[in-house]
Amino acid sequence: MISTRGRYALRVMIDLAEHNDGSHVPLKDIAERQEISKKYLEIIVKDMVSGGLITGVSGKGGGYKLCREVDDYSIGEIIELMEGTLAPVACLTDNAEVCPRQEICSTLPMWSEFYNMVHDFFYNKKLSELVSGTSDYVNYVI
């Protein structure tokens, strides 16, 4: 399951994209709109700043804003930044220690195939597709 870190970060990004008029959006406003604790969001948003997704400015009139065009964000980089990895098993992460069973593991190829599929899915999905009014997905019903 995707944790609140990833899910909330995504909602912050969408919120910022929907209020992307050049000004800075206070976290207080985002927290109220998204109905998420502002204090908890601070922790999440901190990592989004250091991860290069958004920028923050202190003081009156300050807040956060996107630092790129909306089309230049993939969902994959947002989730991967917040969740650490998209890999289904530790063996497939970047800094994985070499598994002694690697050569004989019957499941690794499947995990690898799955990982590629997941990676493609999220990196091909753009933030702009989730922003209200810019996609048919808005009226999608499950």
Partner DNA sequence: CTTTTGCCTATCATTTTAATAGGTTGTTGA
Partner DNA sequence: TCAACAACCTATTAAAATGATAGGCAAAAG
In the list 48, 88, 97, 128, the residue contacting a copy of itself (rule: CB under 8 A) is 88
In the list 3, 102, 107, 124, the residue contacting DNA (rule: CB under 7 A) is 3
Contact range with a copy of itself by CB under 8 A, out of 6-14, 20-28, 51-59, 62-70 = 6-14
- Find the helix packing angle between 4-18 and 27-34, rounded to 10°: 110
In the list 10, 20, 26, 128, the residue contacting DNA (rule: CB under 7 A) is 26
In which element (H, E) is residue 56 found?
Answer: strand 54-57
Min CB(141)–DNA separation in Å:
26
CA gap 42, 47 in Å, rounded: 9
Residue 92 lies near DNA (rule: CB under 7 A): no
From residue 28 to residue 57, the character string flagging contacts with a copy of itself as x (rule: CB under 8 A) and all else as - is: -------x----------------------
- By C-beta, is 55 or 135 nearer to a copy of itself? 135
Residue 28 lies near DNA (rule: CB under 7 A): yes
- By C-beta, is 23 or 102 nearer to DNA? 23
Local structure of 69: helix, strand or coil: coil
65-90 per-residue burial string, b: 16 or more CB within 10 A, e: under 16: bbeeebeebbbbbbbbbbeebbbebe
Handedness of CA 16, 8, 31, 43 (dihedral sign): negative
Residue 11 lies near a copy of itself (rule: CB under 8 A): yes
CB-based contact 91:102 (threshold 8 Å):
yes
